[in-house]
Structures are given as C-alpha cells and as structure tokens.
Amino acid sequence: MLSDDDTVLENNFPFMTSKSLSMEDLLASLPPVHHCTYLKDTYFSVFSPLFHILHDPTFHTEYIGFLNDPNSVSLSWLAILFVILSLAIDALEQDDYILRDLVRGSNASKNVTALGRRYREAAMNCLAKNGVFWGRHDVHSLQALILLAYGMSHSQEPTWALLGMTYNVAIALGCHIDPESLPLNKIQCEERRRCFAGLMMLYTIQSTALGNLDALLQHKYDVRLPANVNDVDITESLIKLPAAGPTQMTYLLFKFQLYNLATKICQEIFASAPSRASIQDLDQQICATQELWDAQYLADSSTGAIPAYHAAHLHILHGYAHQLFLLLHRPLFAQSVLGLDIPNESQIRCIASAEALLDIHRVLCETPEYRKYLWYTNGLGSFHAFHAAVVLSVAFQMPIYRPQWRKFRSELEETVVRFDKLAERSPICAKGSRVLRFLLNLDYSKSKQRDSLVAVQPPTLISSNNSYSEAASWISATEDNLKHLSERLNPQQWLSPSAVFWNEWEKFIG
C-alpha cells in the first residue's frame, strides 16, 4: 500500500540516493502476477503503438520466462517492466479494480499519481543497482531510460537531466551508428533504431520547449529510421514488407517527422520578423503532412471504419498539426485586429484550427472507445485545447468577428464543462477552467451592449451621440482586453504545458 512518502514528488528524482536493495526487495515491489499481467497488457494495447520502442513478441517471450523464474531476468529488464507498469497505471479508469486492489484512499487521482511514481522509482532503483549511472549499459537499460523519460514527460515532470544522461548512454552503446554494420540480427537492429529515433524525438521536444532549437541540428547521425512494419513481420533474419495501411511503427514515425517540422516552425516564428512567404510555405508543409496521414490511416478502411486505436492516433496527430498552425500563424494573427474589414489569412487559419482542436478534444473526451486515452486528453490534449480556447477568446473580442460571437461563446462554454469534468486528474484543466471562466465572464459583462451594437454600422453610430458613446466605450474595453490577452499569446508560452506562465494568468484574472 502507499505510504505518505508516495504522495510527494521527490525533488531530486530521478537521481535520488536509493537504499541498498536486493533482487528480492525489488521483486517484492511488483504487484501480484495477475495485476502485473493486466497492466502489462494495458501498456501494449495503449502505449506501445504510440511510442513503439520495444519489440513486442520478444518482450512477451521474456515475460513468460520471468513468470517461470523471476530471478532469471536482468535488473535492466526488470526496470523496463516497472516503467511499463507505471505507464499503464495512467490509462486506468478511476474505478478500475486494479486501483482498488493496489492502493487505499478516496482520491483516485492521487492514487494513480502516487502508484505510477512508485513504479518509476522502482525502475530507477533497478538501474542504479545495475550500475547504469556508473557506466554499465545495455540495450535494456537504454529502453528503460527512454520509456521512463516518455512517461515522466506525459506526467509533466522534469526530464531534461534524465534525457541528457540517456543520450550519453545511447552514444556509449553506439546507437548513433546504424547497426547494419554490426554483428546483430534484424530484431536487434530495429530495437536500436527505435531507441535512437525515440530518444531524438524526446530530445527535440524538450529542446524546442526550452528554446534550444539548434542543439540537435549541429549533429548529423548516420542512423536509418526504424522500418515501418509490424513486429510480426520482423524475424532475426528477415524484415517482411507490410500490407497497406498503418503499422505499429506508423504513429511514431509520423510524430518524429512532425517534431522536426515543429523545430522549423519555431525557428521561423522566433525570428525578429518572420515573412509571410515562409509562413505560407510551412503552412503548406503541414497540410501535405496531414494528407499523408489520412492516406496512410484510411488505406485499410474500404471495408468499414478503421480500428479505434488507429482513429485515436489520427485524432492526436491532427490535434498536434492544428497546434502547429496556431504557433505558425501567431505573428500575423493579431495584426490590426481592430482595424481590419476583412480577416487576414492567418486569422482565418488560427480560428479554423482552434475550432478543430476543440472538436478533437470533445471527441476524445466523449467517445467511449477513447476512454483509455484520457491520460493524453488530461495532459497534452487539454493543453492544446486550452491554447485553442484562448485564441478563440481573442477572436470573439474582435469587432470583425461579432457575427460569430454566439458560436464562439458556445464552443468555449462547452470546453469549460469538459475541463471541469477532467479537473480532478488534470492540473491543466483545473487551471485552464478558471482562466476560461474568467474570460467568459469578462465578455458577458459587455454582451448586452455588444448585442445592441452588432447590427449598427459606423455611419449610424456617428449620427447618434448615445450610440457613438456606447460604441466607443465598448471598443475601448475591447482594446484593453485584446492587449492583455495578446500578452498571454506569446508563442514561447505555448510550446509545452511546462512553458505556460500560470502565475501571469493568475495576475491577469486576479
């Protein structure tokens, strides 16, 4: 059961000073076999296709051997198992019997957080006992470190130091060199390629969030991307060509390409004066990438709907694409927001992407088949939705979008309702809901005045002193609102959940 210490994040994790633990002590930290297998299967059905680092058949075979003789596995393999358990916990419903069996406490959200953290700490203890932090490395320890960093990033925990260490382990193992020239079989080669691709993706995400855009561009690695095939098509001597449609590797490969595109976008928008031509060029690159996703994922839909997990992957990909549209067009989005008679292209793109992101968030929240992905919706998915909602809040303050005001407001109100429902397990939703409710109330105080002015044209306003005074007052208030909101729309604040200046939002809403 959980102790009080499990409810507090250790400030020095993952580099804590662990006690000297025996193999028996570490094995005793595992849940009962039935629960362990249940969580393992949950990981491979939910997380493995999203971040496909392991070769599933190999791990399943090793797991059977572990069940027959727990002491036969290496500490680094045991670390992988603990990380798998920590990730799987995040996919559980709050009323899942596993949680009732493994933890006590009335707050399911805190139980999920504490139990996941306990298993991550056990994984680090395995790696420490194996001497990973003192130069004893193998592919299993690298896989464990990469999966650990992935899980911590989705839990909004700091990963930069861990990623730096993992990168050095990968280099020490020679994973920056394509394994084709090494005396390894096909499965071992693909495991190494997956490790390096996954690590580079995580490293790129973190570097971009910190504004360190050139860190990886200075290096050119001669490592091929992993093969876009299913695990069953890989044997020790042969890699078979897959059938049409997405594979277990498709999502990771698409995300790898997408984050490289994100780096290009950040380099452009962080420039002193991004050009309209470069913005349009990158816009077209995102559109072309989206078309490629649809072609790949819908290739096997001729006989009916695509499987739910592929549909979820496609929603997540498109969600991130719309997030990139919002970042890319930010420099031109608020240009002359009060003086334009016709919306500019960037405004049109941002509003369309904001509405699309909120719709994706709605689908992921309300579709029963996507319940197992609520860990994503609670984290990055809601961060993207909050970004979209703030953009839409700016749009419905703009005079040019007064005809769409009711529609925008309805979409924002529905978002607040969803955020409130997710708030217990989502810190982003808990904070974001308060901000959005403030923005809605801010606008509501002027809504009656706005309604009376929607149909009034400027000449009429000039001919009526009262109407003119009311219009001038509304425009002045709108200008103030837009000024304050625009300060919150700095693109550097929307690169990742950890980049949001929540303290500044608190000052803004009082």
Pick the closest to residue 331 from 288, 388, 280, 287 (CA basis).
280
CB-count exposure of residue 488 (10 Å: 0-12, 13-18, 19+): middle
Read off the pLDDT of residues 138-195 as tens digits, 9 standing for 90 and up. 999 999 999 999 999 888 788 888 999 999 999 999 999 999 989 999 999 999 999 9
* Contact between residue 420 and residue 412 where contact means Cβ atoms under 8 Å apart: no
**HEC letters along 351-418:** HHHHHHHHHHHHHHHHCHHHHHHHHHHHHHHHHHHHHHHHHHHHHCCCHHHHHHHHHHHHHHHHHHHH
Instruction: Give CA–CA dist 240/233, Å, rounded.
Output: 5
| Percent over 70 (pLDDT), the chain | 82
Region 323-339: what's the mean pLDDT? 78
Region 359-369: what's the mean pLDDT? 96
* Contact between residue 190 and residue 239 where contact means Cβ atoms under 8 Å apart: yes
Strand partners, 177: 222
**What are the helix (H) ranges across 423-490?**
427-444, 447-453, 458-463, 465-487
Region 424-436: what's the mean pLDDT? 93
Whether the predicted pLDDT of 450 surpasses 50: no
Pick the closest to residue 357 from 418, 278, 296, 284 (CA basis).
418
Read off the pLDDT of residues 69-111 as tens digits, 9 standing for 90 and up. 999 999 999 999 999 999 999 999 888 888 888 887 777 788 8
Strand partners, 55: none
| pTM for this entry | 0.87
Instruction: Give CA–CA dist 96/509, Å, rounded.
Output: 37
* 146: helix, strand or coil: helix
* 324: helix, strand or coil: helix
Q: What is the pLDDT of residue 303?
A: 58
* Contact between residue 377 and residue 361 where contact means Cβ atoms under 8 Å apart: yes
* Contact between residue 127 and residue 76 where contact means Cβ atoms under 8 Å apart: yes
Instruction: Give CA–CA dist 83/149, Å, rounded.
Output: 10
Amino acid, res. 427: P
| 56 vs 475, higher pLDDT | 56
User: What residues contact residue 375 under an 8 Å CB cut-off, 6+ apart?
Assistant: 90, 91, 154
Read off the pLDDT of residues 373-405 as tens digits, 9 standing for 90 and up. 999 999 999 999 999 999 998 887 777 888 888
Neighbours of 361 (CB within 10 A): 25
Read off the pLDDT of residues 298-311 as tens digits, 9 standing for 90 and up. 876 665 678 889 99
* Contact between residue 263 and residue 213 where contact means Cβ atoms under 8 Å apart: yes
Whether the predicted pLDDT of 247 surpasses 50: yes
Q: What is the pLDDT of residue 194?
A: 97
Q: What is the pLDDT of residue 5?
A: 45
Q: What is the pLDDT of residue 338?
A: 53
Whether the predicted pLDDT of 456 surpasses 80: no
Read off the pLDDT of residues 9-33 as tens digits, 9 standing for 90 and up. 444 445 444 557 899 999 999 999 9
* Contact between residue 395 and residue 351 where contact means Cβ atoms under 8 Å apart: yes
Instruction: Give CA–CA dist 294/446, Å, rounded.
Output: 42
Q: What does the block give as tokens for 18?
A: 């662990």
Q: What does the block give as tokens for 59?
A: 């791990």
Q: What is the pLDDT of residue 300?
A: 65
Summary mean pLDDT of the chain = 84
Q: Could you list the beta-strand ranges (E) of 72-224.
A: none
**HEC letters along 15-63:** CCCCCCCCHHHHHHCCCCHHHHHHHHHHHHHHCCCCCCCCCHHHHHHHH
